[in-house]
């Protein structure tokens, strides 16, 4: 029995994905069956139908999972199969914590409405039926603290196991449910669970999407949490989620003015998924080069923008250049230590005109008003 339990745990930890039917069906990683809200199918001998192996699992985990399934459901081991499936099922219905040593908020208790929906869904699973979708939506909307979110993730895991082992559905929850779960994590402020929703292979049946990532990035931006932004970008990279131009725009827009190190750190992550620069990311890098005393490189990247941006965006290059001259320097200088302000002012007064001259030499003659550079620096 212990051996069976061990195999069951390892199978649950494999890259297989599943979810709730209805609002929790139709995913990016598999096709859900039509077994929505039905009783557990049974064979003529009274034994529940065995679950199919996750066809999309890869690598060592996939091989091991397939071998384990072969052993568990061999025709010569019917009685053992029933015992092992009992272990798997009781694992799914046990009320356990997803965090073994979580004592962050020892005095916080689960909200009554969340506990009520959890118990209703648990009883439904024990009766071998899928709970109504409305119960899940109600639970998500009622979450108001970390304990609520922990319970939410527990029921997601239980439902995933129930579908995989009893209904033979190995598809993840659909994107809409996953986005709603991510929003709940951000709303409550439990971002460690929000990041779990971005992992491609997880035990909760959650489908990571770039939309969920953007929501968390926007949350980090609104709270000026650059560390969270870096963590989100790293998770996206590790899980091979394709970034969109808007992803980098959100991140660059909250980079602290004058912090070239943060600019290059984010740009490095951006470059792994997005080939070309957007207007926002390109000018963010141009500012980084100016801060590093490299006006020639700043001009080169603006030249690159002019080459690859669509025509309607190229018209905005002049406006962004004028902002670098008339607005950005004073903002950067104000954020520096008093002892460093004079040196940065002198550097920008020299390097910004050099950048403009380099653009002209590169064949990009954009008319700007350099006279506004010195007065606004004096105002800073």
Q: Token pair for residue 53?
A: 């192996």
Q: Are residues 163 and 300 in the same domain?
A: no
CA angle 314, 251, 104 (to 5 degrees): 170
**Which of residues 174, 195, 225 is at a domain's end?**
174
pLDDT at 17 over 50: no
CA angle 257, 320, 220 (to 5 degrees): 40
What number of residues does the chain have? 380
Q: Are residues 167 and 282 in the same domain?
A: no
Q: Would residue 69 count as lying in a domain? A: yes
pLDDT in tens, 178-199: 899 999 999 999 999 999 999 9
Mark residue 182 as left, alpha or beta (left: phi above 0; alpha: psi -120 to 50; beta: remaining): alpha
CA distance linking residue 328 with residue 315, whole number of Å: 19
pLDDT at 378: 60
Q: Would residue 224 count as lying in a domain? A: no
pLDDT (average), residues 61-79:
38
Q: What pLDDT band is residue 168 in, cutting at 50, 70 and 90?
A: confident
- Judged by average pLDDT, the poorest of 72-86, 147-161, 188-202 is 72-86
The HSE-up count of residue 252 (CA atoms within 13 Å, CB side) is 24
Burial class (CB in 10 A: 0-12, 13-18, 19+), 177: buried
pLDDT in tens, 272-281: 666 778 898 8
Q: Are residues 157 and 34 in the same domain?
A: yes
Q: What percent of the chain has pLDDT over 90?
A: 41
Stated pTM of the model: 0.56
Q: Are residues 6 and 154 in the same domain?
A: yes
pLDDT at 29 over 60: no
**Which of residues 174, 189, 213 is at a domain's end?**
174
Contact 198, 212 (CB under 8 A): yes
CA angle 119, 120, 122 (to 5 degrees): 60
pLDDT at 54 over 50: no
Q: Are residues 288 and 141 in the same domain?
A: no
CA distance linking residue 304 with residue 301, whole number of Å: 5
Mean pLDDT computed over every residue of the chain: 75
Q: Would residue 373 count as lying in a domain? A: yes
CA distance linking residue 118 with residue 271, whole number of Å: 43
Q: Would residue 124 count as lying in a domain? A: yes
Query: Number of structural domains, the chain?
Result: 2
Tell me which residue of 189, 198, 252 sits closest to 223, measured CA to CA. Answer: 189
**Which of residues 174, 197, 229 is at a domain's end?**
174
Question: CA torsion sign, 267 to 270 to 274 to 279?
Answer: negative
* Domain of 111, in residue numbers: 1-97+107-174
pLDDT at 108 over 80: no
- Judged by average pLDDT, the poorest of 90-99, 333-342, 358-367 is 90-99
């Amino acid at each position: 029995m212990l051996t069976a339990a061990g195999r069951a745990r390892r199978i649950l930890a494999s890259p297989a994905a599943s979810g709730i039917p209805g609002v929790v069906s139709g995913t990016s990683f598999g096709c859900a069956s039509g077994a929505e809200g039905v009783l557990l199918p049974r064979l003529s001998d009274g034994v529940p139908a065995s679950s199919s192996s996750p066809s999309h699992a890869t690598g060592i985990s996939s091989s091991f999972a397939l071998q384990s399934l072969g052993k568990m459901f061999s025709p010569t081991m019917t009685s053992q199969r029933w015992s092992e499936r009992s272990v798997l099922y009781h694992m799914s219905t046990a009320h356990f914590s997803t965090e073994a040593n979580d004592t962050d908020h020892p005095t916080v208790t689960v909200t009554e409405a969340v506990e009520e929906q959890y118990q209703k869904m648990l009883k439904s699973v024990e009766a071998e039926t899928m709970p109504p979708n409305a119960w899940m939506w109600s639970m998500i909307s009622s979450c108001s603290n970390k304990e609520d979110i922990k319970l939410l993730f527990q029921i997601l895991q239980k439902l995933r196991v129930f579908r995989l082992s009893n209904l033979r559905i190995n598809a993840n929850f659909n994107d809409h449910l996953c986005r709603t779960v991510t929003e709940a994590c951000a709303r409550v402020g439990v971002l460690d669970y929000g990041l779990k929703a971005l992992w491609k292979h997880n035990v909760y049946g959650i489908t990571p999407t770039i939309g969920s990532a953007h929501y968390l990035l926007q949350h980090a931006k609104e709270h000026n949490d650059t560390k969270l932004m870096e963590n989100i970008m790293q998770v996206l990279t590790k899980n091979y989620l394709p970034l969109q131009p808007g992803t980098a725009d959100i991140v660059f827009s909250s980079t602290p003015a004058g912090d070239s190190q943060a600019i290059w750190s984010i740009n490095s992550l951006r470059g792994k998924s997005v080939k070309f620069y957007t207007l926002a990311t390109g000018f963010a890098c141009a500012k980084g080069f100016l801060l590093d005393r490299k006006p020639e490189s700043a001009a080169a990247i603006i030249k690159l923008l002019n080459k690859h941006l669509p025509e309607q965006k190229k018209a905005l290059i002049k406006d962004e250049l004028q902002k670098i001259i008339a607005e950005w320097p004073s903002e950067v200088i104000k954020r520096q230590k008093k002892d460093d302000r004079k040196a940065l002012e002198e550097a920008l007064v020299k390097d910004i005109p050099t950048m403009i001259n380099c653009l002209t030499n590169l064949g990009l003659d954009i008319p700007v008003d350099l006279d506004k550079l010195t007065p606004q620096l004096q105002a800073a």
